[in-house]
A and B are shown apart, each in its own frame.
Chain A
Amino acid sequence: MDFNSFFLMRHELTLLAIIMILLIAEIFIPASRKNSIVSLALLLFGLHTLSGFFPLAESKLFGGMFRSNDLIHFFKNVLNLGVLILLLQSADWVKEKMTSNDRGTEFFILLFASLFGMYFMISAGDFLMFYIGLELSTLPVAALAAFEVLKRKSSEAGIKLILSAALASGVSLFGISMLYATAGSIFFDEIILNISLNNLTLLGFILFFAGLAFKISLVPFHFWTADVYEGAPISIASYLSVISKGAAVFIMMILLFSVLKPLMEVWENLIYVLALATMFTGNLFALRQENMKRFLAFSSIAQAGFILLGLITGTQLGTATVVYFVTIYIFSNLAAFGVVQAISLQTGRENMKDYEGLYRTNPKLSLVMMLALFSLAGIPPVAGFFGKFFLFTAAASQGYYLLVFLAVVNVTISLYYYLLVMRAMFLRKGDDPIPFFRNKIYMKLGLVITVVGILILGLYSPLYDYIFQLSGIFK
């Protein structure tokens, strides 16, 4: 292994460097100037994101434990972009609430550590690397969920997340060991050659799948979602719902479409059922939510159900639509969470009722929210429409017309609750509307990027064509 091949891990290495720099900065920057850590972290991560767009070779490292190809590279870029937006949106929160009690740097370090784990999870070439990545991506988030130590709900969220995550990863590990027992290897390339359908494989697969399903919060592994989202700081809730879910979807897709492809007849049926259960549960529970974070939690569960429609196909078209949808979903959901965060930061209000009359006092913020909701609901001409339409196209291409039909029923149900937020913001005047406020520059930037993304990603087709071409590895 020569020195150059290390650059296959460029994403990982630069992120590691950023973590180190922040650690050192934490020591040397005096307490009175701790706020500059925020700008430093943003700057470094911005550069990191930019550097990600330079091309990267396709190859393997460590005897196949770590691999990189254009699709994986693209995943990492999407995640980077998402994290960058998230950092912009939470910069003011960190400045105002966290650096005062000297915890700003930790926030960034933990967040980046989790992202670091996700890189390895996506790039994994064997189950060991995958498992380490999974653990590394989850544990820091649990700490982050409990970050607002003074709030009881936040600590509760941390505990809930870490307990359920530990259970899920244990179950998953058990499944992996069974798969190892049948295939005789933990390397993906060898498993795909040796795996065959028998009872042990089946059990191993299901246990393993449960662990990942937990991360994506598929029903019935979704119970932690709403409580954790509600208790955790908003940036962490949006990290969980967007970045963490996106990464888990990517890795699930890679595993299902390549390593576990021989078990397709099993996971096809499994996903069929889970898709329906997840969509209906997420949507029906979202109808009754009053708190915006809980509301977005159930909405994100429902969205995960829609994603499964692309996963069920196992084809190039399916891959492309899933990646495309997740990319769009990251922008849309971050826009929604961004608005919630902006309002919560200024006024501390998080309930849907508080949003009544928002358009008349804060028209721009409500328009951003409107775009985000339309994108999540799948209404043209914003990006979410294209994402969802293509997912359904993928499912229909394999003849799953009934599933598509039930999914579109769900789209209508989801439209109802997204319109409830619209109703609060636009139709009602409200007894005590949120007064007008100006967002700080980072938040503005964070929201503007999401809006541009929502407007452009769908209409601008070369992106989809590019993703489709990348997805060729799953022909």
Chain B
Amino acid sequence: MDILSLFVIVPVLVILALVFSKGLKQARLIAMIGGIIQLGMAINLIFAYTRERAVNDSIMLFTRDLTWFEQLNIHYSIGVDGISVALITLTSIVLLAGVFISWKIEDLPKEFFVSLIVLSTGVYGFFISIDLFTMFVFYEIAVIPMYLLIGIWGTGPKEYSAMKLTLMLMGASAVLMVGILGIYFNSNADGGALTFNILEIAKVNIPYEAQKLFFPLTFIGFAVLGALFPFHTWSPDGHASAPTAVSMLHAGVLMKLGGYGIFRIAMFLLPQGALTWSWFFIILSATGVIYGAFAALRQTDLKYINAYASVSHLGMVSFALLMLNKTAWNGAILQSLSHGFMTALFFALIGMIYGRTHTRDITKLGGLLKVIPFISAIYVITGLALLGLPGFSGFVAEMNIFMGAFLHDDMFHRILTIVSVSAIVVTAVYVLRVVGIMLMGPVKNTAYLKLPAVTWYEKAGILLLLIPIVGIGVAPLWLSNMIMQSLEPFIRGVL
């Protein structure tokens, strides 16, 4: 059995075990063991990848290719490079943390964990695919469980949010499908056979007219998932209604599919389309960065604050990708990872605060530092990471993004960069605002004096997410090298 297919097979086995489990205890135990195994697989993958990379310099490692639909040349093709390895690890960490955070879920626990694992399987599958068709299949598998996860276990206007989110994301996938078909039917431009294989298509010179037509479709298809302005409106509603673990997986992992897809498919396969359209989408991205930051500043619901912060921070990802240079790209990938850990941690903390105080409205909270010091302290640390303090992952990512962006020799791009950088200041303001109102000062409500202590599973979840944030921040070089090295083939293809 090859090391990558395990990421599809193991979750399916876990799901089967869950289906036959009885009661809450068994269900969460199986989910936890499954999560730990997957994290182990991810760590093993990192080591295996590093070893293999030292002796093998093909673009994708551990490749495997099984013919699926012969007539249409559809294959189950898998392979990874440094970028996918990093994102797979992110997924496994957030999934396990999510299981810990959902420890106490009582309504239909079995179904909850099954949906959660189906979602993560889709994500794994997406990251390991190097065939457009397989990738598309996994994309949809990742999105659909969200409907049930938000609709059944969510809070507030959950039916509305679940429907809006599912329809927007599936609508985006429909647009993406046209883009993929467009790429497929142009993949024989140099006289070869039609193919869905990304590495094969990258060698083909797709006609400029087709690139110009299909780049925006492919880009938007993925960008909706990455909450690109103005297609982000599903995200705040979805986050606000989702249960904690789902927000974590969603913001931490699922939204990364967007940036990854833009990079791996839209830009890699349609480089000239990217050059033609970059001015347009870069304006949207920059708008998103600023808009998200200011919108977060105005919110009082903790989840909305975080959701808009995500719009802002993921705007930076597509912004950096469109800058078409290596440093910015490196930053974009790092930002994806760093945002994944930070935002998952934020949502976990918000879930813990909400679970204890039954409100997410910061104006009703106050002085939490005195009553739940552990959670509050972690909140402050995550906040500092989010606003890009050195020593945390956010700093490394944003440094790379904006340094790379300034390298662009076009005045227009530089001005947009300056505008976008200002979002960092706004980020500082909204993070400190929340910290000030919610954590500092006197305890606002006497009922808060007797809040339950932090449990072991909550600590486990927090720790899992905190370690990488600090780890990447303190020692980014190793990760950065792994990503940089994987960027090489893209540089050759696009620049």
Contact = CB atoms under 8 A, between A and B. Distances in A.
A392 B137 contact: no
Residue of B71, B137, B184 most packed against chain A (CB within 10 A): B71
Nearest to A459: B68
Interface string A37-65: 00000000000000000000000000000
A125 to B, nearest CB: 28
Interface string B159-187: 10011001100110011011001101100
Contacts of A412: 167, 170-171, 174
A432 B74 CA distance: 47
B372 to A, nearest CB: 32
A396 interface: yes
B24 interface: no
A464 B133 CA distance: 16
A93 interface: no
B141 interface: yes
Nearest to A378: B140
A393 B136 CA distance: 14
B148 A380 contact: no
A426 B148 contact: yes
A347 interface: no
A411 B170 CA distance: 9
Contacts of B74: 461
Interface string B123-153: 0000000000100111011001001100110
A464 B72 CA distance: 10
A390 B181 CA distance: 10
Contacts of B175: 405, 408
Residue of A392, A412, A468 most packed against chain B (CB within 10 A): A412
Contacts of B133: 389
A464 B69 contact: yes
Interface residues of B, number: 34
A149 interface: no
A416 interface: yes
B182 A393 contact: no
Nearest to B153: A427
Contacts of B2: none
Interface in B195-225: 213
A398 to B, nearest CB: 9
A186 interface: no
Given A416-B163, A464-B69, A423 B151 contact: yes
Contacts of B182: 396, 401
B409 interface: no
Interface in A350-405: 374, 379-381, 385-386, 389-390, 392-393, 396-397, 401, 404-405
A312 to B, nearest CB: 15
A405 B175 CA distance: 7
A445 B429 CA distance: 63
A396 B137 contact: no
Interface in B231-256: none
B70 interface: yes
A380 B140 contact: yes
B177 A408 contact: yes
A396 B185 contact: yes
Interface in B297-315: none
For chain A, give the interface size range: 20 to 34
Contacts of A25: none
A423 B181 contact: no
A168 interface: no
B178 A401 contact: yes
B70 A392 contact: no
A49 to B, nearest CB: 27
Interface in B65-93: 68-72, 74
A189 interface: no
Interface string A451-468: 000000000010011001
A320 interface: yes
A385 B137 contact: yes
B105 to A, nearest CB: 16
A393 B132 CA distance: 13
Given A379-B144, A380-B141, A427-B151, A390 B72 contact: yes
Contacts of B178: 392, 396, 401, 404-405, 408
B181 A404 contact: yes
Contact of A320 (B71, B147, B166, B213): B71
A6 B177 CA distance: 48
A161 interface: no
A86 interface: no
A423 B163 contact: yes
Prevailing SS type, chain A contact patch: helix
A380 B71 contact: no
A309 to B, nearest CB: 12
Contacts of A416: 163, 167
B146 to A, nearest CB: 11
Given A416-B167, A422-B147, A427-B151, A461 B68 contact: yes
B140 A392 contact: no
Contacts of B72: 390, 393
B206 to A, nearest CB: 14
Interface in B30-89: 68-72, 74
A392 B181 contact: yes
A426 B74 CA distance: 34
A374 B71 CA distance: 25
A374 B181 contact: no
B181 A393 contact: yes
A405 B176 CA distance: 10
Contacts of B136: 389
A31 B360 CA distance: 70
A394 to B, nearest CB: 10
Interface in A393-440: 393, 396-397, 401, 404-405, 408-409, 411-412, 415-416, 419, 422-423, 426-427
A408 B167 CA distance: 12
B174 A411 contact: yes
Contacts of A404: 177-178, 181
A426 B151 contact: yes
Contact of A464 (B71, B138, B141, B167): B71
Nearest to A402: B178
A212 B209 CA distance: 40
B140 A465 contact: no
A419 B181 contact: no
A415 B181 contact: no
Contacts of B144: 374, 379
Contacts of A461: 68-70, 74
A116 B72 CA distance: 35
Nearest to B150: A427
Contact of A468 (B71, B141, B148, B213): B71
Contacts of A415: 166-167, 170
Residue of A317, A385, A389, A397 most packed against chain B (CB within 10 A): A389
B167 A381 contact: no
A409 B175 CA distance: 8
A426 B144 CA distance: 14
Nearest to B194: A397
By Cβ-Cβ distance, the 8 closest A-B pairs, closest first, are A408-B174, A396-B181, A427-B151, A412-B171, A380-B137, A468-B71, A461-B69, A380-B140
11 contacts: A380-B138, A385-B140, A401-B178, A404-B178, A409-B174, A415-B170, A416-B163, A426-B148, A461-B69, A461-B70, A468-B71
Interface of B: 68-72, 74, 133, 136-138, 140-141, 144, 147-148, 151-152, 158-159, 162-163, 166-167, 170-171, 174-175, 177-178, 181-182, 184-185, 213
Given A379-B170, A409-B171, A416-B167, 12 more contacts: A389-B133, A389-B177, A396-B185, A404-B178, A405-B178, A411-B170, A416-B163, A419-B166, A427-B151, A461-B69, A461-B70, A465-B69
Interface of A: 317, 320, 374, 379-381, 385-386, 389-390, 392-393, 396-397, 401, 404-405, 408-409, 411-412, 415-416, 419, 422-423, 426-427, 461, 464-465, 468
